[in-house]
Amino acid sequence: MDLDAITKHSASHAKPDGLILQYGTAGFRTKADRLDHVMFRMGLLAVLRSKQTKSTIGVMVTASHNPEDDNGVKLVDPLGEMLAPSWEEHATHLANAEEQDLARALVAISEEAAVNLHQDAFVVIGRDTRPSSEKLSESVIDGVTVLGGQFHDYGLLTTPQLHYMVCCRNTGGQYGEATIDGYYHKLSTAFVELSKQASCSGDDHRTLKVDCANGIGALKLKEMKHYLPQGLSVQLFNDGTKKLNHFCGADFVKSHQKPPEGIEMKANERCCSFDGDADRIIYYYCDVDGHFHLIDGDKIATLISSFLKELLLEIGESLTVGVVQTAYANGSSTRYLEEVMKVPVYCTKTGVKHLHHKAQEFDLGVYFEANGHGTVLFSKAAEAKIRQLAKELEDKKGKAAKMLENVIDLFNQATGDAISDMLVIEAILALKGLTIQQWDALYTDLPNRQLKVKVADRQVISTTDAERQVVKPPGLQEAINDLVKKYKLSRAFVRPSGTEDVVRVYAEADSQENADSLAYEVSLAVF
Ligand code: NG1
Ligand code: ZN
């Protein structure tokens, strides 16, 4: 390591004095103008991680659903998964080292993680459409090159596309070709093959309106449209001409429980929203009375897992299907999955890495956060079995096995992916001849409310039991329990956010009014 060169370059990416940032659930996130030093340093860290794992590492510049003036950065590990927890700590140390301590911090990390500095390093970089993203990604590249790393800059990509590229590059092309064309080709081929099995075609429920949050999803979906069959007509709204995530996008729709601005919705039309980096998707429609119906990640998980179970039943294979949720999953969804569908359901802490990890325990692991971030993981053994059955079986069984094989290829198994999930959902609806209203009618969500509470220090709250119970400060859980007892079908919990400086409050109850007032009362107890 040429420590002098690093110190010299770092001076042009100087850290603002006293600024302390944390590598949170989705990497670093804050106002874009405070992030230049973090980008340079994450370029350095990506090189060390690449040397240590002898693999290509990804760096994504995005702040997802957060406002346009924000930005962020996260590292992607070799198989396309989130950065390992011990390296999140290294990231935090490196980002917070004062200028004069930077070289020492780098040496300390390479020693602690036993990095072979003579090993080659390769880093791939992607960025979203924020005005600040291009310059910030150049700072990442500066960090990579000063440590002698090689790189490929993919430029504009959705977050899940970058995860896909990393996975392809580290699996010798087995997962797919590590190009944007390779991504579109893999997904569209699987979608076309799967859709061929649908008996109904050409009717009105093959039109889908997509709110792209004025983000990267618009750009990439426009490119992908050329690869899609004519049977599916995708109409884009909020296509990037207005402000990113402003009154639109999956996060807006889910948290406000109302349609985004900038989309023309007619009664009963099927619509969906992506978030700012296209790793989340939410469906919805308005009925003839003008009532808004939200179909969130929980209902997406239900549709997908019931489809997977039906295929497995048809094939006659007893592979295990598990569903992973967080505490934010609507109580009705958990009940429906467990009691009606008889699928085992597990609850993990918030943050995709926790869900992803748990989902790896099953042959087919379905995971979704209520906010629409999720995918399905197939174990290596299950995948091999399904591919073999698709070759061997005939008639109805063979058809089901082939469909399942296409489903494997259509999911982005590296991470939740709005484009890939959208195609899976569209294929399932067409195959089953389901309207969005019939899908919605699987179960009725319990009315719920989420609130944010600003406190002096959100870390004074600590939780256990997958964030459903407070351990500290003393007395808070008892207070929540007493409030919950006042309402029917009620549940509530609080937890410090991993991405914003707030405490989040969630409540559900038998009516919207009761859910609102329970959430409000719990938020008062937090102060
Ligand atoms: P935090 O801020 O820790 O609640 C939010 C979302 C997560 C996840 C991350 C990363 C909620 C309640 N929380 O985390 O599900 O998506 O952002 O983007 O939606
Ligand atoms: Zn996102």
Do 138 and 12 share a domain, yes or no? yes
Judge if the beta carbon of residue 159 lies within 6 A of ligand 1. Answer: no
Active site residue 462: no
pLDDT tens per residue, range 235-260 = 999 999 999 999 999 999 999 999 99
Domain annotation covers residue 171: no
Distance between Cα 115 and ligand 2 center (Å): 31
Do 392 and 257 share a domain, yes or no? no
Domain annotation covers residue 424: no
Q: Are 346 and 357 in contact (CB under 8 A)?
A: no
Do 268 and 314 share a domain, yes or no? no
- Which residue segment(s) compose the domain that 249 sits in? 183-293
Q: What is the CATH number of the domain that holds 92?
A: 3.40.120.10
> Is residue 199 predicted with pLDDT exceeding 80?
no
Residue that the structure tokens 């991680």 belong to: 49
Q: What is the CATH number of the domain that holds 240?
A: 3.40.120
Judge if the beta carbon of residue 499 lies within 6 A of ligand 1. Answer: yes
Do 7 and 54 share a domain, yes or no? yes
pLDDT tens per residue, range 334-387 = 999 999 999 999 999 999 999 999 999 999 999 999 999 999 999 999 999 999
Ligand 1, from 354, 371, 452: best to mutate by most atoms within 8 Å of Cβ?
Answer: 371
Specify the residue with its C-alpha closest to ligand 1, atom 12. Answer: 328
Do 243 and 303 share a domain, yes or no? no
Domain annotation covers residue 519: yes
Distance between Cα 499 and ligand 1 center (Å): 7
Do 362 and 384 share a domain, yes or no? yes
Domain annotation covers residue 161: no
pLDDT of amino acid 202: 46
- For the CA atoms of 243, 245, 247, 252, what is the dihedral angle to 10 degrees? 180
Report which of 35, 97, 99 is spatially closest to residue 66, judged by C-alpha positions. 35
Residue 65 CA: nearest ligand 1 atom is 18
pTM score, whole prediction: 0.96
Judge if the beta carbon of residue 371 lies within 6 A of ligand 1. Answer: yes
Which one from 10, 64, 188, 306 is the annotated catalytic residue? 64
Distance between Cα 127 and ligand 2 center (Å): 12
Judge if the beta carbon of residue 274 lies within 6 A of ligand 1. Answer: no
Q: What is the CATH number of the domain that holds 460?
A: 3.30.310.50
The 3-state DSSP composition of the chain as helix, strand, coil percent (nearest 5) reads 45, 20, 35
What is the rounded average pLDDT of the residues 29-57? Answer: 98
Report which residue type is found at 499: T
Specify the number of domains making up the chain.
Answer: 4
Report which of 330, 277, 325, 401 is spatially closest to residue 26, judged by C-alpha positions. 277
pLDDT > 90 fraction of the chain, expressed in percent and rounded: 93
Main-chain phi, psi angles of 414, to 5 degrees: -75, -35
* HSE-CB of 300 using CA atoms within 13 angstroms: 35
Do 7 and 123 share a domain, yes or no? yes
Do 267 and 135 share a domain, yes or no? no
Domain annotation covers residue 167: no
Beta strand pairing call for 374-378 and 364-368: antiparallel
Residue 495 CA: nearest ligand 1 atom is 4
Do 395 and 306 share a domain, yes or no? yes
Do 284 and 190 share a domain, yes or no? yes
pLDDT tens per residue, range 102-116 = 999 999 999 999 999
Do 323 and 302 share a domain, yes or no? yes
Domain annotation covers residue 202: yes
Q: Given pLDDT bands bounded at 50, 70 and 90, which one contains residue 200?
A: low
Report which of 420, 421, 386, 384 is spatially closest to residue 403, judged by C-alpha positions. 386
Report which of 370, 382, 344, 367 is spatially closest to residue 414, judged by C-alpha positions. 367
Q: How far apart are CA 257 and CA 254, in angstroms?
A: 5
Domain annotation covers residue 176: no
Do 466 and 335 share a domain, yes or no? no
Give the number of whichever ligand sits closest to the CA of residue 279: 2
Main-chain phi, psi angles of 321, to 5 degrees: -115, 130
